[in-house]
Copies of this chain bind each other. A is one copy, B any other.
Amino acid sequence: MSTVPAFKRLPRAVREQQMLDAAVKVFSRRGFHAASMDEIAEDAGISKPMVYAYLGTKEELFVACLHREGTRMMQAIAGAAAPDLPADDRLWRGLRAFFGFVGAHRDGWAVLYRQARGEQPFARELATMRSRLVEVVAGMLDHALRAEGREIAAVDLEVVAYALVGATESLADWLADHPDADPEKTATRMMNVAWLGAAQLLHGVTWRPPAD
């Protein structure tokens, strides 16, 4: 009937991705609070009510961004670190994939993540994502330990994994702040820190506080 081209009536899924793209961009550039829904809508080339209709409130929108980017990152890691490889190999490939991803999305993932850490509303989402990472790392360590016939308390395992994840995040920050740095080299450095320490643990070497 109409000769008007159906140029704007894109399917919902496409529109949502456009919005998320814009949102990730703006949230990264401005930070969660300084970002305005106006700017996001404008950047997405869409009107504000549409954003609300599709992706909900500002907080929900941010969570959606976090979710999409986090999932992509986890997929990148999972795709690289196949579970049937030996532990050190898995760790290395995982780290390489992680830093590669962060390096390729310097103004996306790392910045969003940094934003989220400070705000209570995102604690839950963040905790979920971080636990997934911690789980993976702890799993690797545990697997390797058992292969050596050793065991370690779950809490300790978690804490150590937490520390490793923290170190990694910190280097991710460093990478995001140094645009010319090489992700692969960064991964190597992290591997040195992580694996050498872990290897010691694996072989039963532990440090104990002096009697004092």
Contact = CB atoms under 8 A, between A and B. Distances in A.
Interface of A: 31-33, 89, 92, 96, 114-120, 156, 159-160, 162-171, 173-174, 184, 186-201, 205-210
Copies in the complex: 4
A91 to B, nearest CB: 10
A209 B191 CA distance: 9
Given A33-B33, A114-B118, A171-B162, A201 B196 contact: yes
Contacts of A171: 159, 162-163, 166
Contact of A199 (B92, B195, B198, B200): B200
Q: Is the interface of A mostly helix, strand, loop or mixed?
A: helix
Contacts of A165: 170
Contacts of A191: 207, 209
Nearest to A32: B118
Contacts of A32: 118
Query: Sorted from nearest, which 8 A-B pairs have the closest CB atoms?
Result: A166-B170, A197-B197, A118-B118, A196-B200, A167-B167, A163-B167, A196-B197, A163-B193
A120 B31 contact: yes
A32 B31 CA distance: 13
A198 B198 CA distance: 11
B160 A193 contact: yes
A180 B6 CA distance: 60
